[in-house]
Structure 1
Amino acid sequence: MNNFFFKKVLKTQEGLVLLLSISMTMCLIAFIVSYYYLDSIFANKVVGIFFTNIFVGRVPALSLGYAAGLSHLEVISLNIISEMILVTLLYSLFVFSYKGILKIKSLEDFFKKIEEKKEKHRESFHKYGRFGLFIFVFIPFWMTGPIVGSIIGFLIGMKHLTVIFTVFIAIIVSMTLWGLFLQEIIDFLIGFDV
C-alpha cells in the first residue's frame, strides 16, 4: 500500500503540490502551537483569521485581522498562507480525483460546477492562458478565485507548477491590494467617528 501510494501519488507533480500543502499546513500548525507558549492572544487571532478565511472568505478574514489590531504584514501574510494552503490541498485532491486515483464524493459536485464554468469560458481561457488565469483569480466575482482558477488552469491543460505559480502570484497581489484597500476604508470610516 505504501509503495503504491508513493509511486502513484508522491512521485507526480500533483503529489508534490500535495506535499507542499501538507508542509505549509505543518509549518502553520507548528507556528501556532509555539506561539501559544509565547503569546496565546496572538495565536488565537491567527487561528481565527485562518478559519475565517477558509470558511467565510478573504474579506471577512482581513477585516477580522484589522479589527484584532494586527499589522498589514501580519494580516495579509496570514491570509495569503491560508489561501495557498487551501489552493494546494484542493487542487491536488481535484487532480487525483480527475485521474481516478482518489474519489471524494463530497467534493464531486463542487468539481462539476468548476468544469461547467470552464466549459462556459473555454475559449477565453485558451485565448488568454496564464494572464487570463491570473485575472480570473485576481478579480473577486462569484465562482472565481484561487481554488476555481487553479482547477480551471489544470482543465485547460496548463502544467501543474505553472498553475500553482500563477495562482500564488495572483493571491499575493490580490490579497495585498485587498488588505491595503480595506485598511483605507476603515481609516476613512474612523475619520467620521467623533
Structure 2
Amino acid sequence: MEKILVAGAHGTTGKKIVNLLKESQYFNPIAMVRKEEQKSFFESQGVETVMGDLEEDVSPVFNQSYDKVLFAAGSGGKKVVEVDQEGAKKMIDASKQHNIKKFVMLSSMGADNPSEAEELQDYLKAKHNADEYLKDSGLNYAIVRPGSLTDNELTNKIELAEKLNKRGEISRNDVAQTLVRTLNDDVANKSTFEIIKGDTIIADALNKVAVH
C-alpha cells in the first residue's frame, strides 16, 4: 500500500478523496490537518493524520515518509497567495526534498491563462503560479483542472482533454475519483488536463493521458 499525504483533507473534496483512498486496495491516506478537531474527525474513522499548516513551515509534516502527495487544499478565496500559491510551493519543495514519487495537484480550469478570466482572477493566478512551479520542479506530477464544482452524485464519467476549449461543470465526487485514479503509476505522468462531466468512464478517459 502506498502512503498518500492529502493536503486539504478536511475540505469538501478532500474528505471525499480520503474516503476513496481509505477504500482503495492500493493506497493508504494520511490526512494533513490544521486543527485538533479535524484530527479527531479522521482518527475516529481510522484514518491516520499529521498536523500541518500551509501558512507555516511544512517540513515537520515530512518527518514520516510518504510515497505520493495529493494537494487538494484551497483557501476558499480568502488567502489565495498564502495557501493556494505559497502553501502549494512549500509542499512541492518538501516533496522534492523527500523524493516523493508523484505530486497530484487539484487546480482549476482557467489556471492556464488567468488574465482571460472574467472572475476569480486572483485565485486563478495563484493556481497558475503553483502549477508552473510544480511543472518546473523536476517532480513527476499530474495537474487536474476541473470546471465548476457541484455537489451532484458520482457519475464516474468525465470529458477530458489537455484543453477542452469550453466551460462546464463536474461533481466533486467525480473530481475526487479522477484525482485518486491519477495517483496510479501508469496514468497521467507529467501531464496537465481539464475535466468536466461527460460520457467517458474516468478510467478510460485517463488512459488517454497515460503516456505524456
What TM-score, normalized to structure 1?
A: 0.29
More strand by share: 2
Larger Rg: 1
